[in-house]
Each structure stands twice: as C-alpha cells, then as structure tokens.
C-alpha cells in the first residue's frame, strides 16, 4: 500500500462506542412469605469454580482454593435457587455467597512448656456475598454466625478474623456478633470470638 494511501486510511479511523452487554435479571424462587429460597451448606472441592469469582478481586486463586473442600477448611456457602436464563429452563442452584474458614488446633497455653492440651480454633478468612443476592448484608451476617455455630458444634473454642483498622464499620458488625478486639497483627486488628461463652444463632440450618 502506498504511503499516501496508508495515511489517508489512518485518518479515517473513528471511535466506536462499545455498549456493555445487558444480563438478564436474576429471578429467585420464593417461599410462602415471598423471601428468596437459599440454603447454607458446607463447601466441597467441586464448588471452587463457582465460588472463586466472589473473592478474586481481593484474594489470589491459590489462596481461595486452600479453603474450599479441604480437610482443614470449614467454609460455608450461600446456595440460592434461581430460574435458568435459557428458554424453557427451570430453576437451578447457584452460589451467591461464601465464608472462607480455616480450622486448626493450637496449644492451649503457650506460656506453659509442659502444657499438652490443645484447642480447636477457626479463622474467618473472608466473607463475600454477590450483589444479586437480596438482603446481601443479612446473608453475610448469617454466613458468619453459621460458621461460628458449626465450629462450636465441632468442638471449636474460638474464632478469629483479621480486619484493617480503617474498616470500623465491619469491626462494629463483628462486635455485634460477639467478637472482641484482640492484638494488632500484620497491620490488622485481630477480632476474636470466644465460642465457649457465646451461642451463635444463624437462624438457619447448615447442610
């Protein structure tokens, strides 16, 4: 192509407006009170693909996969019942939220070199709920309380979570659920829930 023709072609390049593809609204199955149908259940390894997108903006995949269906994880999912988007498709299950939880054991008293008693504890890594889920904040609270109850039922004595000090709103939410401020670690505040003294009630069964 001659140089003059190439310049003329470049000069005719125009800007195009790319319209964002609209997605169909999410239609939930509802109960007799008109509330969306969803259940809280334990995460399995096969849930990783559906759960990971909730956390990828804040956590790398190699971290997320450590807490989905592993022996030392105790993560919970919010699984909603929604209408399929294809023509003629019925209702199906879809993951709308998750609480990533690590479950471990530690010496009860580190100051006593002869102590041989171990405590089971949990660490709440992160809790996320999709924007399409109605009552998003309430569901987030239910997942947190569900994780606390499940851990206590299985012998856990405490649950902790690291929260940046500037996230005061979330710190207050955790306080309402029984967490207390602990030590400062890795530039975060360690929020600790003494499960032995609490009776967490998510008002929903864990499957």
Convert the pLDDT of each residue in 52-101 to its tens digit. Answer: 999 999 999 999 999 999 999 999 999 999 998 887 789 999 999 999 99
Tell me the two tokens of residue 61.
């995949």
pLDDT tens profile 184-201: 888 999 999 999 999 999
Q: Is the pLDDT of residue 2 over 90?
A: no
Q: In Å, what is the CA distance from 63 to each residue of 15, 55, 58, 59, 175?
A: 41, 10, 10, 6, 26
pLDDT the model gives residue 88: 79
**Confidence (pTM):** 0.84
Which residues, in sequence order, are CB contacts of 203 under 8 Å at separation 6+? 142
Could you give the maximum distance between any two Cα atoms of the chain, in Å? 87
pLDDT the model gives residue 87: 79
Q: Is the pLDDT of residue 112 over 80?
A: no
- Catalogue all structural domains in the chain, each as residue range(s) with its CATH number: 23-197 (3.40.630.30)
Give the number of other Cβ atoms within 10 Å of residue 107's Cβ.
13
Quote the CA–CA distance of 184 and 162 in Å, as a whole number: 9
pLDDT the model gives residue 23: 67
| Mean of the per-residue pLDDT values of the chain | 87
Mean pLDDT to the nearest integer, 37-44: 97
């Amino acid at each position: 192509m001659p140089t003059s023709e190439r310049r003329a072609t470049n000069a005719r390049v125009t800007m195009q407006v790319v319209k964002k593809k609209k997605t169909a609204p999410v239609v939930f199955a509802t109960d007799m009170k008109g509330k969306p149908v969803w259940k809280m259940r334990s995460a399995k390894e096969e849930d990783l693909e559906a759960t990971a997108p909730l956390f990828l903006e804040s956590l790398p995949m190699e971290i997320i996969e450590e807490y989905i269906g592993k022996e030392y994880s105790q993560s919970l999912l919010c699984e909603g019942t929604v209408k399929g988007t294809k023509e003629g498709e019925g209702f199906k299950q879809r993951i709308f939220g998750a609480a990533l939880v690590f479950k471990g054991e530690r010496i009860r008293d580190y100051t006593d070199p002869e102590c041989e008693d171990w405590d089971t504890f949990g660490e709440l890594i992160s809790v996320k709920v999709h924007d399409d889920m109605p009552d998003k904040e309430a569901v987030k609270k239910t997942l947190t309380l569900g994780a606390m109850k499940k851990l206590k039922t299985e012998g856990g004595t405490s649950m902790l979570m690291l929260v940046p000090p500037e996230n005061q709103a979330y710190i207050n939410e955790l306080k309402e659920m029984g967490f207390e401020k602990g030590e400062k670690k890795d530039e975060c505040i360690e929020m600790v829930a003494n499960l032995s003294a609490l009776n967490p009630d998510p008002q929903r069964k864990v499957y």
